[in-house]
């Protein structure tokens, strides 16, 4: 654990067979521990005394080389490779070699040593059919990718190797939006940009059909310069449907064109009705505001202005009953200013109950999808906001000292009046809208004429 070579030599003098017994009841050998902690001198002495430790595996199937490569301890990697370079090809319980672990962790120097001692280690695949290239890209290790590409530069087939899902390293880089890796693969390898994975998608199609990102345009330009096809399968299907729809609409368009020529009117304009989920947005906004108001109102009821008494006070120091007793946990404001306390609690309770009513209506499952029901909920919300505004005013007056209250009073009242006035204007406007809807619904007012989606604007005749 300390990496002390001196203590190791003393222990070996006392018991030359200690290395045979040191790991008999442990998972890791002393060499595993030295490789994990980076004690290169200690590891070198262990290998000199007992070289076969380099081939020992722990319960996870990992050798000391696995640990040293994952940590990037280059000196220990060299010593282990000098003893047994074939350990580069050993898979641990997760199906990974030391080279795979170095690629995942981005330990470029250790990776370079592994490739130099055992070049064929680059061809070993994981249980999922992934090469070191795949693992480098998956974990965004550009340095490891460059080192591996240089080692297999002459093997175009291996650069285009696909994992069990049929993905090449370019598929993975595009899916993870790794722009630098995409540029490197395109400019420095003979990667096939139009290769398809097991689902039949090219790298360009993964980009076009995946989630949007700010780097999409740059990635698309890189792929197009490399010769990637612009049109994806999904786009081609959509385009073929558009062509069919155009062909089906052609007789109707020809007829419209003939009418235009006869009437000498302006071109026909199609008004596309945009779908807006107005009610859905209103419901979401109401739920958020109602939840916030209910939370604040609940907190205010438990912590009223002025706080609560911290101890009982029923008798004085002589044991005589006091004139104004109180008990711990009760509101201070209730004793000092009962009228304002009642106003505060009534208004706060009104805001709390109104907010809970909104939440209950929204989660009740009742058919609240029509505008009239949404207006009812908005009215309740206005009641909650108005009550909460008044609650704030009462609390502010209560906790403000008298010498500041005179100046604060005028400003607060003006602000309060402006706020309530805005609420009143919005409330009045919606009441008028509801009245107009009611009058139209029952025939007292002629309803608005519905405009067709296809209309013709006629020019005025001077005659």
Are 372 and 302 within one domain?
yes
Give residue 216's pLDDT band: very low, low, confident or very high (50, 70, 90): confident
Task: Answer whether residue 438 shows pLDDT above 70.
Answer: yes
Domain assignment present for residue 463? The answer is no
Give residue 273's pLDDT band: very low, low, confident or very high (50, 70, 90): very low
Please write the tens of the pLDDT for every residue from 286-328.
Answer: 788 888 888 988 888 888 888 888 887 777 777 777 777 878 8
Give residue 336's pLDDT band: very low, low, confident or very high (50, 70, 90): confident
- The CATH number for 184's domain is 1.25.40.20
Are 202 and 255 within one domain?
no
What is the domain count for the chain? 3
Are 240 and 134 within one domain?
no
| 114 closest CA partner among 96, 94, 128 | 96
Are 100 and 184 within one domain?
yes
Give residue 117's pLDDT band: very low, low, confident or very high (50, 70, 90): very high
Are 75 and 193 within one domain?
yes
The rounded distance, in Å, linking the Cα atoms of 154 and 130 is: 19
3-state helix, strand, coil in the chain (%, to 5): 65, 5, 35
Give residue 133's pLDDT band: very low, low, confident or very high (50, 70, 90): very high
Residue partners of 456: CB distance under 8 A and separation at least 6: 263, 265, 266, 268
Q: Which domain, by its residues, includes 253?
A: 236-264
Domain assignment present for residue 337? The answer is yes
| 207 closest CA partner among 186, 228, 236 | 228
What's the chain's length in residues? 463
Are 243 and 216 within one domain?
no
Average pLDDT over residues 190-209: 88
Q: What is the pLDDT of residue 67?
A: 94
The rounded distance, in Å, linking the Cα atoms of 324 and 346 is: 24
pTM: 0.50
Task: Please give the C-alpha separations between residue 207 and each of 27, 174, 224, 232, 356, in angstroms, as whole numbers.
Answer: 46, 6, 12, 9, 45
66 and 121 Cβ atoms separated by less than 8 Å: no
Are 255 and 225 within one domain?
no
Task: Answer whether residue 451 shows pLDDT above 80.
Answer: no
Neighbours of 47 (CB within 10 A): 21
Are 37 and 163 within one domain?
yes
Domain assignment present for residue 30? The answer is yes
The rounded distance, in Å, linking the Cα atoms of 431 and 426 is: 9
Domain assignment present for residue 140? The answer is yes
* Number of alpha carbons in the 13 Å side-chain half-sphere of residue 311: 2
Domain assignment present for residue 71? The answer is yes
Average pLDDT over residues 228-253: 50
Are 294 and 419 within one domain?
yes
69: Cα separation from own chain's centroid: 33
% of the chain exceeding 70 in pLDDT: 79
The rounded distance, in Å, linking the Cα atoms of 342 and 348 is: 10
Are 403 and 413 within one domain?
yes
27 and 68 Cβ atoms separated by less than 8 Å: no
Give residue 87's pLDDT band: very low, low, confident or very high (50, 70, 90): very high
Write out the two tokens for 315. Answer: 């008798």
The rounded distance, in Å, linking the Cα atoms of 208 and 186 is: 18
Q: What is the pLDDT of residue 461?
A: 41
Task: Answer whether residue 431 shows pLDDT above 50.
Answer: yes
Are 305 and 213 within one domain?
no
Are 79 and 221 within one domain?
yes
Please write the tens of the pLDDT for every residue from 20-47.
Answer: 765 555 678 899 999 999 999 999 989 9
Domain assignment present for residue 241? The answer is yes
Domain assignment present for residue 187? The answer is yes
């Amino acid at each position: 654990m300390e990496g002390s070579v001196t203590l190791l030599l003393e222990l070996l003098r006392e018991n030359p067979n200690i290395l045979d017994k040191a790991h008999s009841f442990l998972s890791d050998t002393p060499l595993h521990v030295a490789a994990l902690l980076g004690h290169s001198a200690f590891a070198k002495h262990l290998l000199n005394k007992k070289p076969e430790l380099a081939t020992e595996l722990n319960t996870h199937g990992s050798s000391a080389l696995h640990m040293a490569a994952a940590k990037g301890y280059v000196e220990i990697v060299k010593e282990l490779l000098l003893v047994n370079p074939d350990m580069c090809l050993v898979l641990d319980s997760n199906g990974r070699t030391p080279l795979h672990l170095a690629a995942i962790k981005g330990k470029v120097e250790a990776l370079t040593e592994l490739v130099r001692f055992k070049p064929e280690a680059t061809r070993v695949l994981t249980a999922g059919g992934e090469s070191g290239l795949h693992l480098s890209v998956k974990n965004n290790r550009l340095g490891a990718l460059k080192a591996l590409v240089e080692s297999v530069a002459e093997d175009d087939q291996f650069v285009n190797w696909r994992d069990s899902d049929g993905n090449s390293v370019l598929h993975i880089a595009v899916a993870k939006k790794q722009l630098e890796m995409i540029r490197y693969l395109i400019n420095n390898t003979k990667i096939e940009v139009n290769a398809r994975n097991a689902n039949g998608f090219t790298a360009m199609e993964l980009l076009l059909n995946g989630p949007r990102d700010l780097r999409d345009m740059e990635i698309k330009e890189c792929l197009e310069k490399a010769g990637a096809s612009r049109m994806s399968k999904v786009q081609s299907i959509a385009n073929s449907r558009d062509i069919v729809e155009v062909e089906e609409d052609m007789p109707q368009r020809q007829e419209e064109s003939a009418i235009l020529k006869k009437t000498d009117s302006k071109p026909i304009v199609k008004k596309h009705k945009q779908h807006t989920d107005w009610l859905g947005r209103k419901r979401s906004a109401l739920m958020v505001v109602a939840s916030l108001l209910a939370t604040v109102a609940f907190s205010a009821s438990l912590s009223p202005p002025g706080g609560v008494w911290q101890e009982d006070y029923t008798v004085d120091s002589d044991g005589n009953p006091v004139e104004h007793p109180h008990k711990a946990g009760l509101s201070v404001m209730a004793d000092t200013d009962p009228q304002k306390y009642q106003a505060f609690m009534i208004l706060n309770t009104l805001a709390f109950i109104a907010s809970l009513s909104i939440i209950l209506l929204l989660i009740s499952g009742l058919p609240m999808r029509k505008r009239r029901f949404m207006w009812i909920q908005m009215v309740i919300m206005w009641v909650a906001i108005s009550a909460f505004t008044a609650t704030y005013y009462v609390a502010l007056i209560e906790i403000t000292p008298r010498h500041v209250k005179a100046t604060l009073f005028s400003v607060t009242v003006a602000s309060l009046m402006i706020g309530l006035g805005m609420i009143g204007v919005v409330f009045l406007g919606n009441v008028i809208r509801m009245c107009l809807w009611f009058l139209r619904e029952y025939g007292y007012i002629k309803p608005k004429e519905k405009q067709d989606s296809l209309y013709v604007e006629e020019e005025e005749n001077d005659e």
